Amino acid sequence: MFKKRIAMQDFVAESRLFKRRAIVAMLFVSMLFGVIIINQYHLQVRLYQDYQTRSEGNRIKVVSIAPNRGLLYDRNGILLAENIPVFSLELIPEQIANMQETLTALAGLIDITEEQQESFLKDVRQQRRFNSIALKEQLNDQEVAILAANQHRFPGVTVEARLSRHYPFKDLFTHAIGYIGKINPNDLRRLEQQEVLANYAATREIGKIGMERFYESRLHGTMGYQEVEVNNRGRLIRVLRSVPAISGENITLSLDVGLQLTAQQILKNQRGAIVAMDPRDGAVLAFYSNPSYDPNLFVHGISSRDFNYLNNSPDRPFINRVTQGVYPPASTIKPHLALLGLETNTITPTSRIWDPGYYQLPNNEHRFRDWRRWGHGWVNVYNAVIESCDTFFYDLGVKLGIDRISDYMGQMGFGQRTGIDLLEESAANMPSRGWKQARFNQPWYPGDTVPLSIGQSYWTTTPLQLLVTTAVILNKGQKPTPHLARSFSGTKNTEEVSPPLIPVIDMVDEKNWDVVMDTMRQTVSTVKGTAYNAFRDATYQAAGKTGTAQIIAIAQDAKYDADALDERHRDNAMYIGYAPYDKPTIVLAVALENAGGGGSNAAPIARQMLDYYFTAGVNDNE
């Protein structure tokens, strides 16, 4: 009984004790839940913005989309540079059970080199397993067909099409259009300086040379992008927002495929350049430098073998002879010099001199020879241009003096870049007293002026420069700026290219223009004219001037004998011309390296070009 009572007492006390402890436990639980709630409040309310931002940063990635590069067309809408799909064999490692087996099987179907396999396996190791990795690029049609037929055997193996630049005319437009190539560190630096690097995030190629480079900013377009949701492994889940890329502007060139082909066919293996332009607005109609090369080689990275072959070729195909070929203009500048003589009244249309076959400076024994050893007899400005009399111009040049020649020819555009829409252009050289002093630290001697007067010695020019200065004469003092691009068409509007003519020469007597142009007409149309044979029976009235430039000096009494000279020491043949005479729509320049006389070699080429031009009606819509 006693024991039981004690137990009863204990039970009540124990029960009370337990209840107190249970309440403490409940308070403890509530307190720790309070801690959790405070922490949750801290994370979910006070730091909400931070974590929200970080959460979005986790899941949203921006994927840039390269714009399609603008296309290039000739003046008639024929495609000169396009974007074509190229096929590549790509594998997704994640989906391939046995990589080595698959590679062996694929190599049994199409030709896959050891090198390709090694570089592929290297990429596999470096990239994420769900990325598609190229095993072989630029598949041919047959390979695509074989792979397509066997596709079912290879899960995770696909043939992918990507857009790639292609120049269907291969070497025909290379020096005008240029090419694109893989972006290199130099390009990156340039893009960064121009602050357009961000726009190239998805772009792999950039214009390297020619119009592709000059008009890079127009051709490239504007990058688009997608905001995509990705999972923790970077796999794309869905597209949240998409801003499409804006394609680059298409450019229509003023060049004509037919005229280009004519130039290429005429030149064959002859090193040289042919360039033609509409003198009224500077639209370039033909632009061909020979030899040329296939720009497609550069698009996917040129092989070192191909590059070395081209780079080491003695014919120097990389040189753009139209704008970078620096040649003595020779007699082609005689009309220009005649014009200066007339304007300064140093000569008149009727004044004449006696040509014994050579020219001597006063009190000097040295004989500057005329190309015709026995001389032209009495010559005025007409005969002098038509027959290309050297003595007449030696005399005129010395009378004019270097300063007037240098100034005036500079105004016409000699020794200056023409401003054509290419970065590859040489200014060539229009010498002056100051130039010689700076270059050779020597004063200018009268003896320097003599050969200069027939476009030799220090005076050099590019075919394009020669063309533009000739256009200045046809335009009576107005200089056109040559341009290859004729119009740009973007997504919305079309922009015509029409740079204004620049007045460079203010002629005192307007008739002087006509005199000079008449001498050029008669060079072509009179029997004695140096270009008469070339233009006999032409259906249009052409005008022009021949030139034959010596490459090496010939000893005082030696006779020039082409056959005895090494081919590369033979004369350059030059020609400038235009047509129709009364209302010129085309002016052209021809420069042939080591071809011999201008009248017999360059003029017939000009004739063929002009024949095509008028027969095909290249510029008829103007």
Sequence-ordered list of residues with C-beta below 8 angstroms from that of 9, at least 6 positions apart, any chain: none
Sequence-ordered list of residues with C-beta below 8 angstroms from that of 212, at least 6 positions apart, any chain: 81, 177, 178, 179, 180, 219
Q: Which of 37, 148, 201, 553 binds another protein (CB under 8 A)?
A: 37
Per-residue binding string, another protein, 316-345, x by CB under 8 A, is ------------------------------
Please tell me whether residue 440 binds another protein under the rule CB under 8 A: no
Per-residue binding string, another protein, 41-80, x by CB under 8 A, is x-xxx-xx-xxx-xxx-xx---------------------
Residues binding another protein: number (CB under 8 A): 40
- Least distance between another protein and beta carbon 46 (Å): 9
Please tell me whether residue 265 binds another protein under the rule CB under 8 A: no
Question: What is the phi/psi pair of residue 60, to 5°?
Answer: -105, 125
Would you say 504 and 479 are in contact if contact means Cβ atoms under 8 Å apart? yes
- Least distance between another protein and beta carbon 231 (Å): 4
Nearest Cα neighbor of 95 from 179, 157, 32 is: 157
Nearer to another protein, 51 or 378 (CB): 51
Q: Binding segment for another protein among 31-39, 97-105, 106-114, 214-222 (CB under 8 A)? A: 31-39
Other C-beta atoms lying within 10 Å of the C-beta of residue 375: 17
Nearer to another protein, 32 or 84 (CB): 32
Q: Binding segment for another protein among 6-14, 104-112, 389-397, 421-429 (CB under 8 A)? A: 6-14
Q: Binding segment for another protein among 16-24, 164-172, 210-218, 528-536 (CB under 8 A)? A: 16-24
3-state helix, strand, coil in the chain (%, to 5): 45, 20, 35
298: helix, strand or coil: helix
Nearer to another protein, 125 or 233 (CB): 233
Would you say 530 and 387 are in contact if contact means Cβ atoms under 8 Å apart? yes
How far apart CA 557 and CA 589 sit, in angstroms, is 32
Catalytic-residue membership of 432: no
Please tell me whether residue 552 binds another protein under the rule CB under 8 A: no
First to last CA, the chain: 134
Q: What value, to the nearest 5°, has the Cα angle with vertex 333 and ends 331 and 335?
A: 105
What are the tokens at 34?
A: 């309070």
Please tell me whether residue 129 binds another protein under the rule CB under 8 A: no
Q: Which of 14, 101, 118, 407 binds another protein (CB under 8 A)?
A: 14
Please tell me whether residue 148 binds another protein under the rule CB under 8 A: no
Which parts of 221-260 interact with another protein (CB under 8 A)? 229-233, 237
What are the tokens at 22?
A: 């249970």
Catalytic one of 254, 292, 331, 432: 331
| Amino acid occupying residue 383 | N
- Least distance between another protein and beta carbon 92 (Å): 20
How far apart CA 44 and CA 53 sit, in angstroms, is 13
Q: Binding segment for another protein among 12-20, 205-213, 254-262, 324-332 (CB under 8 A)? A: 12-20
Please tell me whether residue 31 binds another protein under the rule CB under 8 A: no
Please tell me whether residue 39 binds another protein under the rule CB under 8 A: yes
Cβ-in-10-Å burial (0-12, 13-18, 19+) of 89 comes to: buried
- Least distance between another protein and beta carbon 233 (Å): 8
For 270-306, b where at least 16 C-beta lie within 10 A, e where not — what string? Answer: ebbbbbbbbbbbbbbbbbbbbbbbbbbbbbeebeeee
Residues serving a catalytic function are: 331
Provide the binding-site residues for another protein, judged by CB under 8 A. 10, 13-15, 17-19, 21-22, 25-26, 29-30, 32-33, 35-37, 39-41, 43-45, 47-48, 50-52, 54-56, 58-59, 229-233, 237
